[in-house]
Amino acid sequence: MRNAMIAELLTSMPPISLSSGKFFVPKRRFLSYMETFKGHTIYDLGAGMGQVSAALHAAGHQVVALDCNTREETEFPITLGNAISQSYESGSVLMFCRPSHGLWVEIAIERALAFHPTAIVYVGLVKNLECDLGAYLNKFKKKAKNIGAESENLYVWEIM
């Protein structure tokens, strides 16, 4: 009930325009690991400027960059939309790279499971895991460490 009310609030908020800024700058180690998902559509949720999507696209991945806010500048075409109410291709990979923290990540995961993703990828700092993944934290396994400019780790929930 609480998550449903919060989801309704989050999906009804109008988009805002934000300044440009990068929270995750991937290293080659990240791109190497993501080769695991070649052939699957990757949804970059909370894509920001799209730098991660651009790097994955350049490496030959099919990527959809989604963000509920616009940015002054982007590095990849961003679809304006909300990860909580988005429809996803079955068998796709959902990816959160250094998302803005809060319940929205957990709710987006909850809603996305109905679309039968292959995996959910989370990139972040250890201190943010519980806040972002909430009830799904124990489903994720650390697959790679030090994959970004700020020593982020990569966690994956392999669903299918």
Angle between the N-to-C axes of helices 2-12 and 103-112, in degrees from 0 to 180, rounded to the nearest 10: 100
pLDDT higher than 50, residue 6: no
What is the spatial distance between Cα 131 and Cα 67, in angstroms, rounded to a whole number?
20
Share of the chain above pLDDT 90, in %: 73
| pLDDT at residue 7 greater than cutoff 50 | no
When pLDDT is averaged across residues 67-92 and rounded to a whole number, the result is 92
Asked if the model's pLDDT at residue 48 lies above 80, the reply is yes
User: Rounded mean pLDDT of the chain?
Assistant: 88
Residues ≥6 apart with Cβ < 8 Å to 57: 63, 76
- Asked whether the beta carbons of 104 and 10 are under 8 A apart, the reply is yes
pTM of the model: 0.88
For the domain bounded by 2-12+26-158, which CATH number is listed?
Answer: 3.40.50.150
B/e letters for 1-15, b = 16+ CB within 10 Å, e = fewer, are eeeeebbeebbeeee
